[in-house]
Amino acid sequence: MTSKLEVLARWVDQIAATTRPAKIHWCDGSDAEYHALVQQMLHTGDLIELNQQTHPGCYLHRSHPSDVARVEHLTFVCTEHEEDAGPNNHWMAPADAHAKIDALFEGCMEGRTMYVIPYCMGPIDSPLSRCGVEITDSPYVVVNMRTMTRMGAAALARIEREGHFVKGLHSTGELDPERRFIMHFPEELTIKSYGSGYGGNALLGKKCHALRLGSFQARREGWLAEHMLIVGIENPQGQTHYVAAAFPSACGKTNLAMLIPPEGYRKNGWRVWTIGDDICWMRPGEDGRLYAINPEAGFFGVAPGTSASSNPNALTSISHDTIFTNVAVTADNQPWWEGLPGTPVTDWQGRPYDPANGPAAHPNSRFTVSAKQCPTWSSKAEDAQGVPISAIVFGGRRPSLLPLVMEAQDWTHGVLMGAAMGSETTAAATGAVGVLRRDSMAMKPFCGYHYGDYFKHWLSFDKPGAKLPKIFHVNWFRKGRDGKFLWPGFGENLRVLEWMIARVEGKARGVETPIGTVPATGELKLEGLDLPRDTLAELINIDPAGWQTELQAIGEYLDSFGDRLPARLRQEQQRVHQALQMPRKAANA
Ligand code: OXD
Ligand code: MN
């Protein structure tokens, strides 16, 4: 082993001395390795074969019923100074955190195999990509990491060239919620995760590396690591604009990333290209624009709600070579979840399906699939330079107040829109569902440092020579008085994206309001959509009294970040608040 890999070899030896595995397996990422691991897991029952006629290469994994989602209350950012982790994270002193979790790792791999997974987040040749090594005792983690990252020999070669990497240590342990921690040490570029086999807690390349440590690395190095999908919108003239969009977990990022244009748009030649559905790394290019890569190579998508009407591209992607986690199965052994046709016979826990036990598939059941299986996958996802971003979109589940779409006046206002983002909670994390919480840039569970410093970092991109994307805020989830959604969503969201692109190209006038620019009458193309005019008016209506209360609440929220909150952001909030107090024309006049 050459000298640069000695650091890695020494670390692996040291972990082996603590965890005491029976065997060490260095993962090469080959097909043969993948198939051997699948066979082994079929034998142990970690995987269950699904109907190979209808779903070739598809398998089901059932996790422990207490281990089905991310566990934010057990997730820690362990910076030397508590202040650096910020009020947005749980903090533990690094020495205490190491001691606590190392005690759990002691001897935990006895009699088992320890897998060493070298991986690269992002295209293997991209200067923006970053490498890591995950050590785990879970073969399920290995096969998922193979789909979700560029894993194996090529990543190892890059690590050897660069000589540095993020260190991730994981063990499923006893799957005891009392002995479960996800610890991040950003200053040491180290992750330690014990006691959970669930994706976000165990596939360390994803949330732990690409977002929590990634955001920390990004701030140091002058780029952004964000919880965003990346989608390309090609117009009938063949020009493609790339849009990066942040929504909290389980708010439809995967659906938007794989959107199917409404029929009229398809006929006219509009196309949609998928680059990523969850994470986006962006940095300024030489021309001043922001260029983005998707650090992931696969989708770890929420299964329930994925259907022929909501996301046919996802459904096609997962018709073969997919690992399903915690879905139900039908009588002929096909994967099943709420929203699909057919009938479940066995629920996600392997019990005969009984509606009295709740949904057949766990609400946070997932599929893991290679991005290349998506019919709209774009080869630009492999572009080492990334794709230029024309628009950044923020959004959340807001049943009222927030209009369908609004555009920020400038970058600072856009950062305020992102910081003020709020959403109803979903099943992607444990805890109550349907409660409104602020989730700045959809990064509340993922920002690896103080939110005040993070906002400052965002603001810092606005400098001479920068050609920054326009920033928008959308709300697909506004409800009418009858409690029903006002906007049909899904493919129809392209109409809103078209308006944004028209704004980017200077082809739509919009109507300025104190909270942002909304579409002028006739600018949102509604042909072929049965949407009454007053529903549209309601969707973009701005309620000044409601917004005054909202701005007040945003101010209080910003104040919770204390001294580290950039004054510019608080001034921006005051500017908007004051503008709301001035008399103005009706937004949708
Ligand atoms: C995810 C999440 O799994 O955000 O992507 O929870
Ligand atoms: Mn996510």
Measured CA to CA, the distance from residue 559 to residue 87 in angstroms comes to 11
The answer to whether residues 61 and 324 touch, using CB atoms and an 8 Å cutoff, is yes
Measured CA to CA, the distance from residue 453 to residue 47 in angstroms comes to 43
User: 3-state DSSP call for residue 26?
Assistant: strand
- The whole-number pLDDT of residue 250 equals 76
DSSP string, 164-189: --EEEEEE-TT--GGG-EEEEEGGGT
Determine the length of the chain. Answer: 589
Q: Rounded to the nearest 10 degrees, how much is the dihedral formed by the CA atoms of 13, 16, 21, 22?
A: 30
Q: Ligand 2 center to residue 309 CA distance, Å?
A: 22
Q: Is residue 493 a known part of a binding site?
A: yes
The list of the chain residues with pLDDT below 70 reads 1-4, 426-434, 583-589
- The whole-number pLDDT of residue 583 equals 65
Point out the ligand nearest to the CA of residue 279: 2
Active site residue 251: yes
Q: Ligand 1: which residue has its CA nearest to atom 2?
A: 249
Establish whether residue 249 lines the binding site of ligand 1, counting it when its CB lies within 6 angstroms of any ligand atom: yes
- Which one of 251, 280, 374, 447 is the catalytic residue? 251
- The whole-number pLDDT of residue 249 equals 83
Q: Ligand 2 center to residue 301 CA distance, Å?
A: 9
Q: Which helix (H) or strand (E) holds 345?
A: strand 344-346
Pocket test of ligand 1: the residue of 75, 208, 249, 325 to mutate, having most ligand atoms within 8 Å of its CB, is 249
Q: Which amino acid is at 305?
A: G
- The whole-number pLDDT of residue 427 equals 67
Q: Rounded to 5 degrees, what are φ and ψ at 232?
A: -105, 130
Point out the ligand nearest to the CA of residue 203: 1
C-alpha distances in angstroms, 174 versus 75, 108, 201, 430, 531?
Answer: 17, 9, 14, 19, 53
User: 3-state DSSP call for residue 341?
Assistant: coil
Cα angle 114-326-172, degrees, rounded to a multiple of 5: 25
Radius of gyration over alpha carbons of the chain, in Å?
Answer: 24
Q: Which two tokens stand for residue 428?
A: 């992607």
Say what angle helices 31-44 and 139-148 make with each other, to 10 degrees.
Answer: 140
Q: Ligand 1 center to residue 145 CA distance, Å?
A: 15
- The whole-number pLDDT of residue 434 equals 65
CATH 2.170.8.10 residue ranges for the chain: 298-373
Establish whether residue 428 lines the binding site of ligand 1, counting it when its CB lies within 6 angstroms of any ligand atom: yes
Establish whether residue 278 lines the binding site of ligand 1, counting it when its CB lies within 6 angstroms of any ligand atom: yes
**Which residue, 139, 123, 119, 129, is CA-closest to 204?**
119
Q: Which CATH number fits domain 226-296+381-587: 3.40.50.1460, 3.40.50.720, 3.90.228.20, 3.40.190.10?
A: 3.90.228.20
Q: Is residue 51 a known part of a binding site?
A: no
Q: Which helix (H) or strand (E) holds 90?
A: strand 90-91
User: 3-state DSSP call for residue 162?
Assistant: helix
Q: Ligand 2 center to residue 437 CA distance, Å?
A: 16
Establish whether residue 55 lines the binding site of ligand 1, counting it when its CB lies within 6 angstroms of any ligand atom: no
CATH number of 3-48+72-222: 3.40.449.10
Measured CA to CA, the distance from residue 398 to residue 417 in angstroms comes to 14
Q: Ligand 1: which residue has its CA nearest to atom 4?
A: 249
Helix, strand and coil in the chain, % to nearest 5: 35, 25, 45
CATH 3.90.228.20 residue ranges for the chain: 226-296+381-587
Neighbours of 56 (CB within 10 A): 12
pLDDT tens profile 301-357: 999 999 999 999 999 999 999 999 999 999 999 999 999 999 999 999 999 999 999
The answer to whether residues 378 and 273 touch, using CB atoms and an 8 Å cutoff, is yes
C-alpha distances in angstroms, 527 versus 46, 166, 265?
Answer: 50, 50, 10
Establish whether residue 70 lines the binding site of ligand 1, counting it when its CB lies within 6 angstroms of any ligand atom: yes
> What residues pair up with 119 in beta bridges, in sequence order?
132, 151
Q: Ligand 1 center to residue 459 CA distance, Å?
A: 26
Q: Which amino acid is at 159?
A: I
Q: Rounded to 5 degrees, what are φ and ψ at 213?
A: -70, -35
Q: Which two tokens stand for residue 469?
A: 């994307």
Pocket test of ligand 1: the residue of 68, 70, 196, 362 to mutate, having most ligand atoms within 8 Å of its CB, is 70
Q: Which two tokens stand for residue 299?
A: 């989708």
- The whole-number pLDDT of residue 269 equals 97
CATH 3.40.449.10 residue ranges for the chain: 3-48+72-222
Q: Is residue 10 a known part of a binding site?
A: no
End-to-end Cα spacing for the chain: 71
Q: Ligand 1: which residue has its CA nearest to atom 3?
A: 200
- The whole-number pLDDT of residue 587 equals 44
Q: Ligand 2 center to residue 249 CA distance, Å?
A: 5
- The whole-number pLDDT of residue 326 equals 98
Point out the ligand nearest to the CA of residue 429: 1
Point out the ligand nearest to the CA of residue 428: 1
The domain defined by 298-373 carries CATH number 2.90.10.10: no
Neighbours of 425 (CB within 10 A): 18
